[in-house]
Amino acid sequence: MDRPKQRGRGRPPKCIDGRLETRQALVRAGVVALTERGFALTGIDDVLTRVGVPKGSFYYYFASKEAFGAALIDSYATYFDRKLDRWLGDRRRPPLLRVRDFMDDARLGMARHGYRRGCLVGNLGQEMASLPESFRARLIEVLHGWQARLQRCLEEAREVGDLAADHDCAQLASFFWIGWEGAVLRAKLERRAAPLDCFAEGFLALLGMAGSVSEQSRFIQEE
């Protein structure tokens, strides 16, 4: 490859500490690999090659593949928490529309990457049988964080009367993430958005928002 060996792809250096920058580039490449192929099939050598870091220097940055994996989960969790805060915490929008906004955004994200990239947490959850046991509690914790964010948004909807008072927001939020991971898995398998739309439609029906797949979604589906 012609690209410089010490640099992440296409980004100019942003900090004076080259080590930190290299570490960040390794994490970025690792997260992409994990969303596409999961942990077991992600070779350290592939990640190093992709980033342009010489083979053998991996252990300068991470004590082990397990430590690397833990850093990738943390990085993805931070990224995804922010994404959820942005969509589900957007007080300019009615709470239930924020849920739809998040789903529309996720849909666009999957389409942008040709449905090759799924959810890092879902991928690792699926291959947990062969992963370091330390990952299990962390993955569950990350999912609970997502669940708490959705629960708060649904509670807001209930408070303003957009969601019937007898809905159990904790149960609904838990239900959402269980099913949404299934929808992401299926969209990867089918390489199309239909499973995301199907789950979105069913979930919104459960909230009492039947027939609420957004116009944006319909437009994208027809492309």
Interface with its own copies by CB under 8 A: which residues? 36-38, 40-41, 116, 118, 122-123, 125-130, 136, 139-140, 143, 171-172, 174-175, 177-183, 185-186, 188-191, 195, 198-199, 201-202, 205-206
DSSP state of 118: -
Among 38, 32, 39, 42, smallest CA distance to 8 is for 32
* Cα–Cα separations (whole angstroms), residue 124 to 38, 57, 107, 145: 6, 25, 20, 17
What minimum distance in Å lies between the beta carbon of 80 and its own copies?
Answer: 16
Whole-angstrom distance, CA of residue 192 vs CA of residue 169: 29
| Whole-angstrom distance, CA of residue 26 vs CA of residue 3 | 16
CB of 95 to its own copies, least distance (A): 19
- Which residue's CB is nearer to its own copies, number 44 or number 206? 206
Which residues have C-beta within 8 Å of that of residue 27, sequence separation ≥ 6?
71, 72, 75
Residue (32 or 88) nearer to its own copies, CB: 32
Smallest distance, its own copies to C-beta of residue 85, A: 23
Nearer to its own copies, 152 or 186 (CB): 186
Between residues 61 and 117, which has the closer beta carbon with respect to its own copies?
Answer: 117
Q: How far is the CB of 144 from its own copies (least distance, A)?
A: 10
